[in-house]
Amino acid sequence: MELFGGALSLTGVTFFMFCLLAIAAVGYAIGRITVKGVALETAGVFLVALLFGCLLYPTLQAQFPEAGALKDLLKVVETLGLILFVTAVGFIAGPRFFGNLKRHFKSYVLLGLIIITAGALTTAGCIGIGNLMHLGGSPEELTAVTVGLMSGALTSTPAFTAAKEAAGEAMEGAVSAGYGIAYIFGVVGVVLFVQLIPKLVKADMKQEREALVAVAQDSQRPAYTGKLIDMDHFGFMPFMLAALLGVFVGKIAFGSFSLTTTGGCMFVSLIFGHFGRIGRISILPKEQTLKVFRELGLMLFLIGAGVSCGATFVAIFNPVYFVFGVVITVVPMVIGYLFAKYVLKLSLLNNLGSLTGGMTSTPALGTLISVSGTENVASAYAATYPIALIAVVIASQVLMNLF
């Protein structure tokens, strides 16, 4: 049986689904391996997907003879996962988000700007060093690759898109190469960081959760005491409605800038989560539903992104560029953490939650929720993320035009 005008065969789709399930199963098993209390968690899925892309992408592609069919299918998986994850995070953070934002607004704005500024300056430094080392075929190519490294190091798809647009058709490939090289450590590095820091500072996680809960309770809106009408038992309807509206909102452009699907879904779900109801109709999904969609979305996102990156990773890999990518991830992450701790005086979990938002790291948030044992860290992520999202897009465009 053929689908979509012959582009996809039923056999091909079945094999594709088999591969997705196999990657997920093996990835979660590897993610559970713990070394001195540190594990990859869901990022294990990303590593397995990356390895699959490196070794078996041609085998999978043979099932989809039409040009670009497999790439498009992987993009669908990645985008669907991102929609599910971000919408769930918005709903989880919504009840406390606006109160928390009001209380720490200056801190979140400053932290987001500090992280992205540090990332942009580090990228500029890497471009300078690369020129001295005569990397790349030309200065323009070096700039394109390095700005791509920044978008990958910060795992920012909007920044990646903005960099490609600024680079022009001739340098799009160089931007993509940089993004692919840095994306791996951009995912794994932040995931490991949010696990290592609590251990290094010997944090009392129970005490840290209590500090975060105190902030959340101060920020939470008054609960509705009347009887609410659920649209369905699990809350699928309001969840899907928020995701649908979020996709449309994300497409609204302001000049060359838009919230993108990620920002749009988060914005709408935050609003839904904040109000919780329309009249007597509940628009807040069940807590367990949100947890399942959050984890399922993260898994699909990492599989789609990992297989796609793995397919080109070997061909584009350059050790020097990889080191640049590591530096562009680590420097702003460390600066952001220290700034939040010593200048903004944020509690540990508020610090790390804000840091994952400032680094625009979707996988790290999932890990931090698991490590901290509380969903309240999502509120800090959601508060810093929009600032970082806008700042990193602007930084990408500025760097491309400056160099």
Which residues have a Cβ under 8 Å from the Cβ of 170 and sit 6 or more positions away? Answer: none
Q: Using pLDDT thresholds of 50, 70 and 90, give the confidence band for residue 183.
A: confident
Let me know: does 190 contact 46? Beta carbons within 8 Å.
no
Sequence ranges of the domains in the chain: 72-297+318-402
| Residue of 359, 384, 360, 381 whose CA lies nearest to 372 | 381
Can you tell me the distance from the alpha carbon of 41 to that of 194, in angstroms, rounded to the nearest whole number?
12
Residue 401 burial (C-beta neighbours within 10 Å; 0-12, 13-18, 19+): exposed
The pLDDT tens digits of the residues spanning 41-54 come to 888 898 899 899 98
Amino acid identity of 266?
M
Q: What is the mean pLDDT of residues 93-109?
A: 79
Which residues have a Cβ under 8 Å from the Cβ of 241 and sit 6 or more positions away? Answer: 272, 283
pLDDT of residue 390: 78
Can you tell me the distance from the alpha carbon of 78 to that of 360, in angstroms, rounded to the nearest whole number?
16
68 phi, psi to nearest 5 deg: 85, -5
The pLDDT tens digits of the residues spanning 353-384 come to 999 999 988 788 888 988 888 888 888 888 88
Q: Using pLDDT thresholds of 50, 70 and 90, give the confidence band for residue 236.
A: very high
Q: What is the mean pLDDT of residues 183-208?
A: 89
- Mean pLDDT check: name the lowest of 68-82, 137-151, 185-199, 217-231: 217-231
pLDDT at residue 262 is higher than 90: no
> Phi-psi region for residue 347, left (φ > 0), alpha (ψ -120 to 50) or beta?
beta
Q: What is the mean pLDDT of residues 160-169?
A: 73
The pLDDT tens digits of the residues spanning 342-352 come to 999 999 999 99
How crowded is residue 191: how many other Cβ atoms within 10 Å of its Cβ?
Answer: 28
> Phi-psi region for residue 62, left (φ > 0), alpha (ψ -120 to 50) or beta?
alpha
The pLDDT tens digits of the residues spanning 278-335 come to 888 999 999 999 999 989 998 998 898 888 878 877 777 789 999 999 999 999 999 9
How crowded is residue 319: how many other Cβ atoms within 10 Å of its Cβ?
Answer: 8
Q: Using the Cα atoms of residue 391, residue 394, residue 399 and residue 402 in order, give the sign of their dihedral.
A: negative
User: Distance from CA of residue 349 to its chain's centroid?
Assistant: 18
| Residue of 123, 147, 386 whose CA lies nearest to 270 | 386
Dihedral Cα 3, 6, 7, 13, nearest 10 deg: 40
Query: Which stretches of 205-318 are DSSP H helices?
Result: 205-219, 236-251, 260-275, 287-316
Dihedral Cα 66, 71, 73, 75, nearest 10 deg: -160
- 3 state SS of 252: coil
Q: Using pLDDT thresholds of 50, 70 and 90, give the confidence band for residue 1.
A: very low
Angle at 79 between CA 43 and CA 10, to 5 degrees: 100
Let me know: does 212 contact 347? Beta carbons within 8 Å.
yes
- 3 state SS of 1: coil
Work out the mean pLDDT of the chain and round it to a whole number. Answer: 85
| Residue of 78, 47, 37 whose CA lies nearest to 305 | 78
Q: Give the highest mean pLDDT range of 3-7, 45-49, 114-118.
A: 114-118
Q: Which two tokens stand for residue 168?
A: 């022009």
User: Within 13 Å of residue 326, how many CA atoms lie on the same side as its CB?
Assistant: 7
pLDDT of residue 332: 96
Can you tell me the distance from the alpha carbon of 403 to that of 388, in angstroms, rounded to the nearest whole number?
22
- Mean pLDDT check: name the lowest of 35-39, 45-49, 207-211, 236-240: 35-39
Stronger pLDDT, 99 or 79, i.e. the higher one:
79
pLDDT of residue 216: 57
pLDDT > 90: percent of the chain: 36
> The whole model's pTM is what?
0.78
Can you tell me the distance from the alpha carbon of 140 to that of 157, in angstroms, rounded to the nearest whole number?
21
Can you tell me the distance from the alpha carbon of 397 to that of 376, in angstroms, rounded to the nearest whole number?
33
Q: What is the mean pLDDT of residues 254-276?
A: 83
Can you tell me the distance from the alpha carbon of 333 to that of 322, in angstroms, rounded to the nearest whole number?
17
Q: Using pLDDT thresholds of 50, 70 and 90, give the confidence band for residue 257.
A: low
| Residue of 184, 146, 160 whose CA lies nearest to 320 | 146
